[in-house]
Amino acid sequence: MPELPEVETTRRGISPHVIGHRIERVIIRQRNLRWPISRRLQQSLPGQTVCCVGRRGKYLLLTTAAGTAILHLGMSGSLRIIDAATPAATHEHVDIVLDNGRCLRFKDPRRFGALLWTTRSPAAHWLLSELGPEPLSTGFTGECLYAQSRGRRLAIKSFLMDSKIVAGVGNIYANEALFLAGIHPQRAAGRVSRDRYERLAQAVRAVLRASIREGGTTLRDFINGEGKPGYFRQLLNVYGKTGDPCPHCGQPIRERRIGQRSSFFCPTCQH
């Protein structure tokens, strides 16, 4: 489900309900996510006040004076703020109960998500320490893409989805950004010019910003902190559009598997 815009939408949605509130308790119905939720987290969070809800790539960071909860939504995860008394439905694995009678409820049918605890700087955590630049920060440039791609033969789409290269770009937005930049997804990363990488960096920024503005993309079940879907799906150019006319030239959009992921492109506009 969630790529950077969906995680950012979630962050913005939950922040006002969580920041400044004390955590009363943590209810865990299913401990076995991608990694088991630690007893340490369950013991450490109660009594703490959330001072900040941050994001790094697709990771959400709930910061307290005692440490930081690192949360990843995996493929199917969502978070919402609801009344703490609401009975839990299936796959609603964790409640972080707040002092205002509400709770942050984590649902994740496929359990590819994660909830970890660190007492150190989250940036030093092994999950985050290798991440590339934030795509909406000034550290993300066409030049850095160009420099890291020299000599690499893998498909540029797989390169763009590598979190060590840039954080938070998943399958939907990699497809969309490559379309906007006019680059064929299967082109070898090392055979794209500096100028075209500059266009690609701009396209990544543009598509992520536009999606955040629309509250993210809901394909099936993404909801924000208020339980509402995102509307960027209506603005997708190529993702999931096999056979539809290209918005630029009218040629049918093609689909191909690249790196085990469905990829969509216009055979005329992208090369």
Q: Locate 100 and state its tokens.
A: 């205002």
Active site residue 2: yes
Please pick, from the candidates 51, 123, 219, 235, the single residue that binds DNA as defined by CB under 7 A: 219
Active-site entry in 11, 56, 58, 107: 58
Rounded to an integer, what distance in angstroms lies between the CA atom of residue 66 and that of residue 40? 11
Footprint of DNA on 178-217 (CB under 7 A): 189-190, 216-217
Rounded to an integer, what distance in angstroms lies between the CA atom of residue 9 and that of residue 212? 6
Torsion, Cα of 131, 136, 138, 144 (10° steps): 50
- Tell me if 234 contacts DNA by CB under 7 A: no
String of contacts with DNA for each residue 19-58, x by CB under 7 A: -------------x-x----------------------xx
User: Scanning the structure block, which residue is given the tokens 């840039």?
Assistant: 166
Contact 41, 29 (CB under 8 A): no
Rounded to an integer, what distance in angstroms lies between the CA atom of residue 143 and that of residue 201? 9
The torsion angles phi and psi of 255, rounded to 5 degrees, stand at -125, 140
Active site residue 3: yes
- Tell me if 244 contacts DNA by CB under 7 A: no
- Tell me if 155 contacts DNA by CB under 7 A: yes
Rounded to an integer, what distance in angstroms lies between the CA atom of residue 208 and that of residue 107? 24
Q: How far is the CB of 166 from DNA (least distance, A)?
A: 11
Interface residues toward DNA, by CB under 7 A: 1-3, 6, 32, 34, 57-58, 72, 74-76, 90-91, 109-112, 127, 151-155, 158, 161, 163, 170-172, 189-190, 216-222, 230, 259-262
* Residues designated as active site: 2-3, 58, 261
